[in-house]
């Protein structure tokens, strides 16, 4: 049976690549990856190896597959694109992070307490992957893009990517063979807001006009917004009896057990009146 330490040892000795083990929790599921970072390289591929940690692979066989993935995952980026104002204008998006994060990048307050917005460029690096780069005020100035224009374009592009799914649909896509988990799940009106990549997709709710219009169309007077991570948001209907403190306590518990610290956004839930 292949083990993570065994795979790393083979890769070190046979290919001299020396990856670092990286563990990430997403939606309460833990993934183990190998991060390949070389020299002054700013963008490093991460290859997740959970599928190899079974009786079907030896350490040597798994290492061969990882090396093949590594060869195919090489990130080939023309640095000159970051000097091209047209390219930057076309690839700006909004991201969210906790207020107080140690960052030298351009940020602003969001509509949610303790959460700030930032600007980033996102694009495909190859067929199977994407890359993202946060933007600074200095970078925008160097390409003659005003901060006002950058925020506007990023908001527009982020809003164009809004994707809404029911909780049942999301669970089905994650675990299609586990039919038992879907029993009565449709009875719980929970909706997942993200983008089509499910990457940094929580920022889609910065367009609160859209969120409220959607809620009105669904017949909701109030909604609760739960930031499950930087990648997605859970929205459910609320009324005068909704216990926001209890929901916020649940958010804290889930953050502790299921969400990587760098992917957490809020320690509480938020309630909004749709008609405000």
User: Helix, strand, coil shares of the chain as percentages rounded to 5?
Assistant: 40, 25, 35
Joined tokens for residue 240:
């005068």
Interior angle at CA 100, CA 148 and CA 262, nearest 5: 100
194 vs 191: CA distance, rounded Å: 10
CA atoms within 13 A of residue 157's CA, in its CB half-sphere:
19
| pTM: predicted TM-score of the whole model, two decimal places | 0.72
Q: Which residue has the tokens 């749709």?
A: 274
Mind listing the pLDDT tens digit for each residue in 125-160?
554 467 788 899 999 999 999 999 999 999 999 999
Tokens 């938020």 locate to: 270
User: Mean pLDDT of all residues in the chain?
Assistant: 84
Percent of the chain with pLDDT strictly greater than 70:
82
- Helix, strand, or coil here: 145? coil
Note the pLDDT of residue 150: 98
Q: What is the pLDDT of residues 9-45, one digit of tens each?
A: 999 888 888 888 887 665 556 778 888 765 544 556 6
Considering the chain, what percentage of its residues have pLDDT values greater than 90?
46
In the three-class reduction of DSSP (H, G, I as helix; E, B as strand; rest coil), residue 148 is classed as helix
Other Cβ atoms less than 10 A from the Cβ of 49: the count is 23
CA neighbours within 13 Å on the CB side: how many for 61? 10
What b/e sequence results for 102-130 when a residue is b if at least 16 CB atoms lie within 10 Å of its CB, and e otherwise? eeebbbeebebeebbbbbbbbeebeeeee
Closest CA relative to residue 98, chosen from 125, 111, 116: 116
- For residues 4 and 172, give the distance between their C-alpha atoms in angstroms, rounded to a whole number: 29
The DSSP element (H or E) to which 34 belongs, if any, is strand 29-35
Strands 163-166 and 129-134, bridge-based pairing:
unpaired
Give tens-digit pLDDT for 44-100: 667 888 878 877 788 888 888 888 777 765 555 666 788 899 999 999 999 999 988
């Amino acid at each position: 049976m292949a083990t993570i330490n065994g795979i790393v040892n083979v890769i070190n000795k046979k290919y001299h690549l020396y990856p670092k083990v990286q563990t990430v929790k997403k939606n309460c599921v833990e993934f183990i990856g190998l991060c390949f970072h070389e020299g002054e390289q700013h963008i490093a591929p991460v290859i997740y190896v959970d599928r190899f940690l079974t009786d079907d692979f030896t350490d040597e066989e798994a290492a061969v597959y990882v090396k093949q993935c590594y060869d195919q995952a090489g990130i080939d980026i023309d640095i000159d694109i970051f000097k091209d104002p047209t390219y930057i204008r076309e690839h700006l998006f909004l991201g969210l992070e906790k207020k107080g994060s140690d960052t030298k990048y351009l940020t602003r307050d969001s509509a949610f307490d303790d959460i700030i917005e930032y600007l980033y460029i996102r694009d495909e690096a190859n067929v199977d992957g994407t890359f993202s780069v946060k933007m600074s005020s200095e970078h925008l100035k160097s390409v003659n893009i005003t901060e006002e224009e950058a925020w506007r374009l990023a908001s527009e592009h982020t809003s164009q990517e809004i994707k809404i799914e029911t909780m049942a649909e999301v669970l089905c896509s994650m675990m299609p063979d586990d039919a038992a988990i879907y029993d009565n799940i449709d009875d719980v009106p929970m909706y997942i807001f993200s983008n089509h990549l499910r990457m940094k997709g929580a920022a889609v709710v910065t367009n609160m006009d859209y969120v409220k219009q959607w809620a009105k169309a669904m017949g909701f007077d109030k909604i609760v917004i739960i930031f499950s991570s930087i990648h997605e948001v859970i929205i459910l209907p609320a009324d005068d009896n909704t216990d926001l403190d209890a929901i916020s306590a649940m958010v804290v518990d889930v953050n502790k057990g299921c969400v990587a610290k760098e992917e957490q956004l809020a320690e509480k839930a938020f309630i909004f009146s749709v008609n405000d």
